[in-house]
Amino acid sequence: MTSVKMLEHSSTTESLQNAVLHALSEPQTMSEQLRTQLADYYACLTDEQIQAFFTEGLAKLEEYEQDLLFSPQFTLKAEQRLAFASPFALNAYSKEAIEASALAIEALNLQVIFRLPSGLDVEIPLNAVIAERFMKSLHLHKPLPQNMRDFIESDVPRDFQAQVALALRDDIFQFEKYQVLFKEVVTCFTKKTAWTPSQVDFLTFFIKTYTPQTLDDLFGKLDRLIQSCQEDMATAETRSYHHPQILGSNMGSSHDHHEAQAVKDNYSQIIKNAQALNDLLK
C-alpha cells in the first residue's frame, strides 16, 4: 500500500485534479449498467448506435440526465476508492473546491474515451458532471476531524493510515464518542500488531451500522450480531439467498455461487470478523 507521508508534498487540490484527469484520460471499458441504460432509455443497442448517440444526442441531455446515465460508470467502489484516494487521504478538500475543480476539468475541453467491445472507440466530453461524480465518490470532501488526523499520524501504522483516514470521513465520526471508541479499538489493534484491512473495514462498518456507544456496548452488539447470524445460518437451507453482488459488498465477504451454502459462508465470515474483533479487544 502506498505510504501517505511520502505523497504529502503533492497533496493539493491541483494534484488531486491531475490524478483525476489522468484516470479519466485512460480509455474506459463501458460498464454493463451503462450499456443497459443506453439501451433502455436511449434505444442504443449497438456500438454504432452508441457512437451516434454520443455524437448527436448527448448534448441535448440535461445535466441531471447525464448524471443518471453516467454515474454508475464513474462511481468508484470501495477498493477502487482506496487505491485512488490513498495519496490524498489525509488532506482536506471542501465541497466547493471539488466542484470548482470539476468545472476546471470541464474547461479543458477534453474527452473521455470508451473502448467498446467491438474495438470501436467512442468519445464523450469530459464535463463537470462526470468529473464531479468521480471526485465526490472519493468522499474526500467529507471532513476528517483534526484530532483524528493527528491520531492517525501518531498511532496508526503507516501502511494503514490512508485506509483509516478514508474510513473516518464517514459522518458518524464527527461525533466525539465514536472517535473515542474508534481510537480505543485501534490502539488495541496496534498493541497486538494484528492489523488487517478487513478488520479496519469491519470496525468502521460496525460502528456506523450498529452505533455502539462504549466498548461494553460494542461487545454486546457484537454478540447480538453473531447470534443473529447463527440463527439465520440455522435456517439457511429453508430460505432464499442473494447473488454475489450483494454478498461481495456485505461486510467484507465474497462468494460466487447461488447456494444456501453461500448464506452460511457469508454469515460465517461476519461471525469470524466479529469474533476476531472481540478477541482482539479482550
Partner 1 sequence: MMTATNESNTQKFPAWYDGVRAKEVLDAYNNGGGSSLAADEFVAKSILPASTGASRDFSYIAPELPQLNSENCVGCMDCVTNCPDTAILGKVVMPDTLEDALAGIQDEEYKAHVRQQFSETRKYHTAFQKKHEKDPENNPAGGMFGIFIDPTKCKGCGECVAVCGDHDALKMVKKTPDNLPQYLSDFGFYRSLPASPLTHINAKDKRDIMLKPAAIRQYAGGAGSCMGCGEASVLRQVFAMTHEKVGDRYGIVASTGCNTVYGSTYPYNPFAAPWTNSLFENGPADAMGIRAFWDQQGQEDWVIWNVGGDGAMLDIGLNALSRLLASGMNVKVLILDTQVYSNTGGQQSTASYTAQESKMGAHGSRKGGKSEKRKEIAQIALMHPNTYVAQTIGPLTTHFYKVVERALAYNGPAVISVYTTCQPEHGVADDMAAIQARNAMKSRAFPLMIYDPEAGATLAQRISLEGNPAPNRDWVIEKDADGNDQEYNFLSWARTEGRFRKHFDKDGNPNSQSILHAMQDRLDNWRLIQQLAGIPNEDFMKSLATPV
Give me the residues that bind partner 1 (CB under 8 A), please.
Answer: 31, 33, 36, 39-41, 43, 45-46, 62-64, 67-68, 71-73, 75, 77, 117-119, 129, 136-137, 139, 142, 171-172, 174-175, 205, 209-211, 221, 224-225, 228-229, 232, 239-243, 245-246, 249-251, 258, 267, 270
55 vs 118, beta carbon nearer partner 1: 118
Closest contact distance (angstroms) between CB of 183 and partner 1 is 18
Closest contact distance (angstroms) between CB of 182 and partner 1 is 15
Give the DSSP letter of residue 113: E
67 vs 153, beta carbon nearer partner 1: 67
Contact 243, 258 (CB under 8 A): yes
156 vs 200, beta carbon nearer partner 1: 200
163 vs 273, beta carbon nearer partner 1: 273
Closest contact distance (angstroms) between CB of 282 and partner 1 is 20
Distance separating alpha carbons of residues 227 and 183, to the nearest angstrom: 26
20 vs 156, beta carbon nearer partner 1: 20
Q: Write the single-letter amino acid at 122.
A: V
Residue 85: burial class (beta carbons within 10 Å; 0-12, 13-18, 19+): buried
Q: The C-alpha cell of 164 is what?
A: 483509516
Closest contact distance (angstroms) between CB of 151 and partner 1 is 21
Closest contact distance (angstroms) between CB of 133 and partner 1 is 8
Q: Write the single-letter amino acid at 143.
A: P
156 vs 182, beta carbon nearer partner 1: 182
Distance separating alpha carbons of residues 23 and 133, to the nearest angstrom: 13
Contact 82, 163 (CB under 8 A): yes
Distance separating alpha carbons of residues 127 and 109, to the nearest angstrom: 8
Closest contact distance (angstroms) between CB of 88 and partner 1 is 17
Place of cell 498493541: 191
Residue 245: burial class (beta carbons within 10 Å; 0-12, 13-18, 19+): exposed
